[in-house]
Structure 1
Amino acid sequence: MAPEIMTEEGVHRVQRRTVVLLAAAQVFGGIGTGATVSIGSILAVELSGSSAWAGAVATVMTLGAALAALPLAAVAERRGRRIGQVTGLSAALAGTVLMVLSVVTGVFVLLVLGAAGIGVGTAASLQARFAAVDLADQEHRGRALSIVVWAVTVGAVAGPNLIQPGTVVGSALGLPPVAGPFVISGAGLLVAVLLVLAGLRPDPLLLARELAASAEARLSGTPPPGLPHPTSQAAGRTPGALVRGMRAIRSSRSALLAVAAVVAAHAVMVGVMSMTPLHLQHLVEGPGASHAGHIASGDVLVIIGFTISLHIAGMFALSPLMGWLTDKAGRTETIMIGCALLITAVLVAGFGEGSTAAVAVGLVLLGMGWSAATVSGSTLLAESVGQESRVVVQGVSDMLMGAAGAVGGAISGLVLSWTGYLGLNMLGGVVGASVLAAAFLARVAGRRQSAAA
């Protein structure tokens, strides 16, 4: 059906199908990331022969996601969400193949390249949340976005639990047992690619552009124009995607607040979460327990695993609630709620650093704060800039988000060694309080403008 004659119910039907399909693709695609995070550090040490490379896989995945965000957004801007998602998921699929080859051949470089490919898939997974709101009406944007974010929970939980079955699959295929989980991951990613390639039709972004162009044409009384492409200007005169995205963000106070909320929440979450396992080991076994060559006891691993699982549940399982709050309470108000949760989290975990229970509660609140800020900030960003720059702005936001996570993870160890776990949490509290203050001022300014109008 042509966009200019598509009914409102027809658009809603396409939107519902888009959200369901994106959520399903997130479930299958997320399995690859979960398995890689779980055993990547073990493989890195085994293949490199040095514990110094233990964090290489996680670091490369994070950087890969950050560096791929803007190029994937540029692909989506030119050719639509479907091609952008397929490109990112295909890179992740290739990454799982390289992971298997690295195990078979014992070549460490292939492991690193595979992690980079899976990182590109992570960037595509993040951008799927924006595809969920291309056709959503204002009253339900937060809900649509949060459903796609929630779907990550299944993959994040299933991935680590596929390690044991994966070893059976690897042995059955004549591969090293540790390669099996990546075979399952690759199968999941292949299903995700096929789902998006065949099912994401019509493309939500391209359809939204056509509907907007048709509506504008009806208002102006001119014939409907062709599909507008923001990059249709002459080559050489069009600013780069990063420049265009930053210009659009700076031109909108709402977009600035949205990006600040998403980036700050991610930096605080990664910074505190990445050092919590080490702190818990110190807490249970003593400060000298993490010396070189020491393996944490089984009890400590159980405590760490349980705490991180609760944290992941806080991040993703409650995202539909955060979407409902975003739609009902408001975008800026939910950002404030997210920042308040982050501040509460670091206070509980920091001042309760001597209690494993307090740290676990703090990590749950940290995940909930991240979820509230990310869902509401992403929703606000999607409606704070024009259609012509929306996709590239979303790419810039994800790039900055990934970079903030990488920086937060990198400096958290230094902060922990200088100031301790309490000091690390207090630094996170300062970051959260800064965004909370900015959101409060934006809310006050918005009310003044409404009163003046």
Structure 2
Amino acid sequence: MTTSVPARIEDPSHSRTQRRILIVLVVAQVLSGAGLAAGVTVGALLAQDMLGSTGLAGLPSALGTAGSALAAVAVGRISQARGRRPGLAAGYLAGAVGSVGVIAAAVVGNPVLLFLALFVYGAGTATTLQARYAGADLAAPAHRARAVSTVLVATTLGGVAGPNLAAPTGDLAHTLGIPHLAGPFLLAGAAYAMAALVLAIWLRPDPLLLARTLEAERTAKAYAQPGDADGRSRPAVERRRSGVLVGVLVMALTQLVMVAIMTMTPVHMHDHGHGTAASGLVIAIHIGAMYLPSPLTGWLVDRYGRLTVAVASGLTLLAAGIVAAVAPGDSVAPLAAALALLGLGWNFGLVAGTTIITDAVPTATRARTQGLVDVAVAVAGASGGMASGLVVAVSGFSTLALACGVVALALLPVIAAITRDR
């Protein structure tokens, strides 16, 4: 994929700044990963327990991803106006507030409050994903995917720990007089609040604001070529637009498939007699596969191209759907393998799609555009989460898994059609 991307100024001081920014982002992502994964593990089970209905078990995921859509716009706009630091810190703080609301809803047994709190809790998910853009703000184009992957892989530590703490935090909640299934949200609230604090104090200088300054200095020194208002030729503008479209489609389809299968796996396991420890283990493997391969994925994207890895995403998600569909419900290992493939396919799509978007959008409008892109991704995830419970209630988990695999396969002709017209 070729886009008109200016080279970064390779100054040693800027390299040191980029390393420092990545370190701060890594620390925040470790914390936010725990907050993200804790809620994923028991959200559907909590709704099923409060509502007594499997058909609505996908609603928490849908509400969380819908909330993340609104939060993506808010974080993007704040970042556009004031920088990454206040935008990301505000998003994580909202995730912490949502976690407290879920706990309160579970204590009083109020489903309406639960759904409202889950909507707010989705801000943490949106912010965890938005942080990857901050890692790429100062990165050279040839290393952009690896910068994205560094931020993503940091989420693994918290993401793997969170689900495995579902049982202990549940016991702690019970001791405190809180329903057992609400326990992981104690961890989520604390983790999101600490991530907000880390960014608010230490994410200095702000990577997006510094990237704008560097680009303005570079533009001032360069001779503007005839074209549109930002000095780009018309073909470059068209490539930029098609790049955004490709990136959105890749990330939206992978998000839809991932959320749909992931949401209903704990419910599917619960219906076959597995406890929260077993489902927590499977989700932990899934979260690990979502983020742990990021350094390798970043290298593959930078080395072999964005679109090559995007195609690999569709094929991997198809394999995940097939394995999940044929896995015996009473066996943990095949479901763990399916969820590992699901996470890997999502990782391929997210790193490739993020890099495509970052390549295509100038710093002047980057944060706002990235926020809007993540809205589309969140809406796709919300659709997958909402539909997943209904499909399982009507046709079963295997049907859902196979249908998601077919949807993932649609990435191939879509990418081929768009790139052919460029």
Which TM-score tier does this pair reach, normalised by the shorter chain? 0.7 to 0.9
- 1:167–1:181: 8 Å Cα contact kept in structure 2? yes
2:244 corresponds to: 255
Select the residue among 365, 368, 380 that pairs with 1:404.
Answer: 380
Which letter maps to 2:258? M
Q: 1:390 to 1:197 in 2, by over 3 A?
A: same
Select the residue among 302, 305, 312 that pairs with 1:337.
Answer: 312
Larger Rg: 1
State which drifts further: 183-192 or 312-321.
183-192
Select the residue among 63, 88, 105 that pairs with 2:91.
Answer: 88
- Provide the secondary structure at the position in 2 that maps to 1:252: helix
How many Å separate the matches in 2 of 1:180 and 1:275? 20
How many Å separate the matches in 2 of 1:431 and 1:132? 30
1:137 corresponds to: 140
Q: 1:395 to 1:249 in 2, by over 3 A?
A: farther
Give per-residue Cα distances to partners, 1:76-112, cap 9 Å, x unaligned: 1111111110111111122233344445555544433
- 2:273–2:330: 8 Å Cα contact kept in structure 1? no
2:294 corresponds to: 319
1:378 corresponds to: 354
How many Å separate the matches in 2 of 1:187 and 1:360? 28
Q: 1:398 to 1:336 in 2, by over 3 A?
A: same
How many Å separate the matches in 1 of 2:382 and 2:312? 25
Select the residue among 338, 342, 364 that pairs with 2:340.
Answer: 364
Q: C-alpha displacement at 1:196, in angstroms?
A: 0.4
Q: C-alpha displacement at 1:153, in angstroms?
A: 1.8
2:35 corresponds to: 32
Q: 1:422 to 1:20 in 2, by over 3 A?
A: same
Which letter maps to 2:190? A
- 1:271–1:409: 8 Å Cα contact kept in structure 2? yes
Structure 2 matches for 1:168-187, cutoff 5 A?
176=178, 178=180, 181-187=184-190
How many Å separate the matches in 2 of 1:121 and 1:302? 24
Structure 2 matches for 1:52-451, cutoff 5 A?
54-103=57-106, 105-166=108-169, 176=178, 178=180, 181-220=184-223, 252-277=241-266, 290=271, 296-298=272-274, 304-350=279-325, 356=331, 358-416=334-392, 421=397, 423-440=399-416
How many Å separate the matches in 1 of 2:121 and 2:368? 22
Q: 1:163 to 1:438 in 2, by over 3 A?
A: closer
Q: C-alpha displacement at 1:434, in angstroms?
A: 2.5
Q: Share of identical aligned residues, percent?
A: 38
Give per-residue Cα distances to partners, 1:377-428, cap 9 Å, x unaligned: 1111111123333222211221111111111222234445666555444433
State which drifts further: 266-275 or 137-146.
266-275
Q: 1:261 to 1:45 in 2, by over 3 A?
A: closer
How many Å separate the matches in 2 of 1:91 and 1:332? 34
How many Å separate the matches in 1 of 2:341 and 2:303? 21
How many Å separate the matches in 1 of 2:71 and 2:368? 12
State which drifts further: 269-278 or 25-34.
269-278
- 2:320–2:339: 8 Å Cα contact kept in structure 1? yes
Q: C-alpha displacement at 1:374, in angstroms?
A: 0.8
State which drifts further: 306-315 or 142-151.
306-315
State which drifts further: 81-90 or 356-365.
356-365
Which letter maps to 1:192? A
Q: 1:423 to 1:160 in 2, by over 3 A?
A: closer
Q: C-alpha displacement at 1:207, in angstroms?
A: 0.7
- 2:327–2:334: 8 Å Cα contact kept in structure 1? yes
- 1:336–1:440: 8 Å Cα contact kept in structure 2? no
Where does structure 2 lack aligned partners over 5 or more consecutive residues? 1-8, 225-229, 231-236
2:4 corresponds to: none
How many Å separate the matches in 2 of 1:278 and 1:73? 33
State which drifts further: 160-169 or 327-336.
160-169
Which letter maps to 2:368? V
- Provide the secondary structure at the position in 1 that maps to 2:383: helix
TM-score in terms of structure 2 length: 0.82
Which letter maps to 1:206? L
Where does structure 1 lack aligned partners over 5 or more consecutive residues? 1-5, 222-229, 231-247, 282-289, 291-295, 447-453
Give per-residue Cα distances to partners, 1:39-88, cap 9 Å, x unaligned: 44555466x56447655543322221122211221111111111110111
